[in-house]
Structure 1
Amino acid sequence: MRLLAGLTAAALSGLAAAASKQTADVYILTANQQSSSETPSIPKEVARHILLQRASRQPYGSDLRDIPSSTDTETAVSHIARFGTGPEPLFSQSDKTNVPQLVVILEGVTYQQSHDLKDALSQAGHPAAFRVSDAPSAAANKNLMTLFRQLGSAPSQPCDLAHALNPANEECWSGISSVVNYDLQKASSTYSALLASLPQINKLVAASDLEVTLLVLPDSTRSSKINSWSTLAGNPTNNRRRDSGERVITDSTVVWPAPSTPTRSAKVNIQKKAIPACFLSLDACKEATNDCSGHGTCVNKFGTGNATSSDARACFACKCMATVVRRGDEPGTSGKKTVHWGGNMCQKKDVSVPFWLITGFTVTIVGAVTFVIGLLFSVGQEQLPGVIGAGVSRGASK
């Protein structure tokens, strides 16, 4: 009886351990699908970095402190580089990086649904890219979607699949990426709509008009004991920022405010950090610099003739100009003043002329005063001439 009880306990503990770690398949539908003989198994932390990269175009894979010790760092980086996507460039137009990214998270998928979806995608040339070896619970998925909303990658309101497949739909898309989440146990029609939409998805993917990342979470993951996609979540020590300024993203705490649709001026503020010395076209210069912040004009520095022509020697950059401001617009002031502008986008006031005027005037005054004081001091130290000295001596003797 004791032996039977021991075997039963061991079997139950094995089943519990197996139930605590459920796998989830991830499909990445791209125009240049890379075929592989085997599907790698990736920890949830690495999978989270991949999803964040594909959804928000930010290099979140740079902070790998949440990668488990059982996973080699180089292996994790190679997985992120292979299945993720690089950040969107600020100035160059690349077809690869400008493809809209749609991340679809399916929860509550039954075994039969997962099997049918796998067959349908395999027939279309899209096998599973990788699988998450330890898919977390439904609570962790909810926190992950909250993170995507705070990053501006997920819509604030539910969005059906038909609208999510249209990157022009502003209700489901914010910029060039979107993340949607469907629970098939609550919205069973979404699964049939997904299967019916596969031909449309394949056409969009083949034309490089859309890339889809599909995370298929089995229904058994709801009761998983893993309650977070990242081991950093809820750990105040690990949530502290590094001295180098790197940001640590967790499922529970995000330091960014809720983003909105970026305006043109906001894009300019972001691009202040890295403005190239030359643009290849006039339109690119105007777009990236917001028409030189309204304080100048884009000109071809090395070109001749028409400044709008573009050739191999084209180098368009901002030429800053002075602006005249009426002092009468301000209370207690009158007249006009000229403001000079500088910087790679003419976004900074050029204070070099007033600075040198004030500095030169100050140095001149200090030098003049010093010279006068020194001259008076040197004159006072000189001896009187001999004739005057003799007269003074005889008068004193009398």
Structure 2
Amino acid sequence: MRLATAAVAAFTSLISTAAADRAGHVYIIDQSTQPHSRDAADLSTLSPVSARLVLAQRAGVEDYHAADLELEGVLDAINEYGVKTPMFADGKDERRRKLNMMVLVEEAAQEDVEASQLNHHPSFAVSPAPGYTASRGLWIDLAKQSKPSIYGSLSDEEALEQLSKLPDSHVHDTFHISTSIDELQNLLSHEKITQKYTITAYVTPPGKYAQTLDGAWQWGSYSMPSTSADSQATLRKRSSSRPIAEAPLEDTSASSDSSFTTHDFTAPVAAEEFHSNKKNTSTSPLPGILPQCFASLSACEETTRNCSGHGSCYKKFTDNSASDTSRYRDCYVCGCKATVKETSSDGGKTTTYWGGSACQKRDVSVEFWMLALFSVGFVFLISFAVGSVWEMGGEELPSVIGAGVSGPSAKR
């Protein structure tokens, strides 16, 4: 009986160890917070889809992953591990915020992680862990979603080569793929990097299972931007099979759409077409979150649709601290211009001012201040009139009305 109990305990321990070894881990490294030790039993475990939503929110590209926000536990995970945004943040707070560095560490042994002291930082587990091929593809997609003007036109191989290099400038959010814990430790040893960046590191576990293409271990589906110069661009979706029991729906339009890009770790499932020509000045909203700076003049014109037809791109500044070959050396932005239209045949004109990263927002500050000043003046006038009437009504009347005035005396 004792032998049977011992065998069951050993088997249970073996299964628990295998499950732990098969889990990936996400570490949030922020030097502005105090590191703390955490018991492994208290470590939260998220599904790959929930973990992807947390990573996307920390990378600032959650708009491309909004389809899965309603899944159970996703919002709780984002509230727990996502970037905390103050409700009443002003422009100074936005400029003071730390940049984000998303680091993927491929196939690190648990003993190496423990030796690196990463367990002292906030973290959560991802189980079952997607294979490193799928994780590598997710990192490439996050980079393309965050900076379509830089990575959007690159193939996955070219983007992987760029992400394998260390960042040469510290003025933008960045993505990096590391091959070892030692390389991550080397990053953390640079004081300038730890002061500038909040580092989100996903460590994939080692093992042959990491090479599997089993769809149940993939990250799920999400939208992808397109920065092609064609007049008809597409909003693509990469996906892998999710670990659910229902049969997948077939999309007949996907097989006939030649603009899809297939990958060894994903499969396209749907497409929506929208106009995004370089010279397109339609009033349809621009997809995604526009960056504050563009690396080149052409990237600025393509992404902003030539500033929505309300201005032109120009070089705002040059970062002299970056190398000559850096993509982040030059900063191109939109310079908005006023639009003047004739309103009648007698020569009347209407001037419209524009603002925003792509000059896509109408400037209504003049109308706002006119309405605000008129409202304040009208309230003041009403208050003055009511006060005057109230003051007049509060004055005392004379004790004898008509005192000193007498009628004619009677004649006898």
Structure with larger RCO (C-alpha < 8 A, sep 6+): 1
Please give the TM-score of this superposition, normalised by the length of structure 1: 0.48
The structure with the largest alpha-carbon Rg is 1
